[in-house]
């Protein structure tokens, strides 16, 4: 497992960059905005329209409020998200960094099969649907638009035209808490990190992720005080923001994910790749490697034309 020591010098690379940060009216997002502006970046704080008072309070607290704007945007609304990117480019000229931070957690147990309606039937898990929509679909929208609008950026020293950081969670690798909607969605972010690398390479955009462990926030309010009182290792929003900045500005990082747990920071993806043979057995690992080479040779996975997808496309 690769232990990570954050490099403070990387923060200097934020100067004059423009970053879009979703879900930035509070928590990790707002601390990331503060850190970026403090080191000379322009920041577009994106969040739901009703968060405007909180977002404006964040902007007023910045070391240079003139470097930040608030743009109301629901990550699930394609038109609002397009407008977000266009507004950022109109105001600051380009977007070099995107932090896909917006995310939520359910407020009821998703698999509570004893939760029934007035007829005695199980309650449809609409809350879980919403969690998966925001955390996965919203992140997908943010990522796809970033890839599109970064294509016109001048290349950096390493040839990259932009840097995208997906905010996952330790729940994107482990799922023992039983928080079904959230854990499922964060595993989706891990899949998005991995599956996006082919297109990222084509466009010279770096896509990495951050996987915070317990971080005091609205999501952990029900247990955070007791957790910390027991002396258990925990993040601070400021610490996670620093890790986001580090992986965003480190030109050597492509397809990596930093797990952050207070002072403990580990890189997850390359470490998993190194132990694939131990995990699956060398024969299975070699078979999968050969299959990967095959798909590279033929230009990528050949996509099917499924009736269910065709019908969906025709109805949209």
Length of the chain: 316
SS (H, E, C) the chain: CEECCCCHHHHHHHCCCEEEEECCCCHHHHHHHHHHHHCCCEEEEEECHHHHHHHHHHHHHCCCHHHEEEEECCCCCHHHHHHHHHHHHHHHCCCCEEEECCCCCCCCCCCCCCCECCCCCECCCHHHHHHHHHHHHHHHHHHHHHHHHHCCCCCCCCCCCEEEEEECCHHHCCCCCCCHHHHHHHHHHHHHHHHCHHHHHHHCEEEEEEEECCCCCCCCCCCHHHHHHCCCCCCCHHHHHHHHHHHHHCCCCCCCEEEEECCEEEECHHHHHHCHHHHHCHHHHHHHHHHHHHHHHCCCCCCCCCHHHHHHHHHC
Per-residue CA distances from 200 to 78, 143, 195 (Å): 21, 10, 9
Is 182 a known active-site residue?
yes
Catalytic residue among 149, 173, 182, 301: 182
* Catalytically annotated residues: 182
């Amino acid at each position: 497992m690769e232990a990570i020591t954050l490099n403070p010098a990387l923060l200097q690379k934020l100067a004059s960059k423009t970053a879009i940060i979703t879900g930035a009216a509070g928590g990790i997002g707002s601390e990331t905005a503060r850190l970026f502006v403090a080191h000379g970046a322009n920041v577009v704080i994106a969040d739901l329209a009703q968060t405007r008072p909180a977002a404006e309070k964040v902007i007023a607290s910045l070391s240079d409020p003139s470097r930040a704007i608030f743009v109301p945007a629901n990550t699930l609304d394609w038109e609002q998200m397009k407008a977000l990117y266009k507004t950022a480019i109109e105001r600051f000229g380009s977007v070099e960094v995107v932090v896909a931070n917006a995310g939520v957690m359910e407020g009821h147990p998703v698999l509570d099969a004893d939760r029934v309606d007035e007829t005695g039937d199980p309650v449809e898990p609409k809350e879980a649907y919403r969690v998966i929509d925001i955390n996965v679909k919203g992140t997908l929208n943010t990522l796809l638009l970033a890839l599109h609008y970064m294509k016109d950026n001048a290349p950096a020293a390493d040839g990259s035209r932009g840097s995208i950081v997906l905010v996952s969670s330790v729940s994107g690798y482990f799922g023992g808490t039983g928080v079904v909607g959230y854990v499922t969605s964060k595993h989706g972010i891990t899949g998005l990190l991995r599956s996006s690398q082919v297109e990222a390479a084509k466009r010279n955009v770096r896509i990495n992720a951050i996987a915070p462990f317990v971080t005091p926030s609205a999501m952990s309010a029900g247990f955070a005080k007791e957790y910390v009182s027991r002396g258990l290792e925990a993040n601070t929003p400021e610490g996670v923001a620093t890790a986001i900045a580090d992986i965003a500005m480190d030109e050597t990082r492509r397809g990596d994910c930093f797990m952050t747990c207070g002072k403990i920071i580990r890189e997850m993806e390359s470490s998993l790749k190194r132990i694939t043979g131990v995990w699956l057995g060398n024969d299975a690992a070699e078979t999968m490697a050969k299959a990967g080479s095959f798909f590279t040779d033929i230009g990528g996975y050949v996509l099917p034309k499924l009736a269910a997808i065709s019908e969906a496309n025709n109805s949209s």
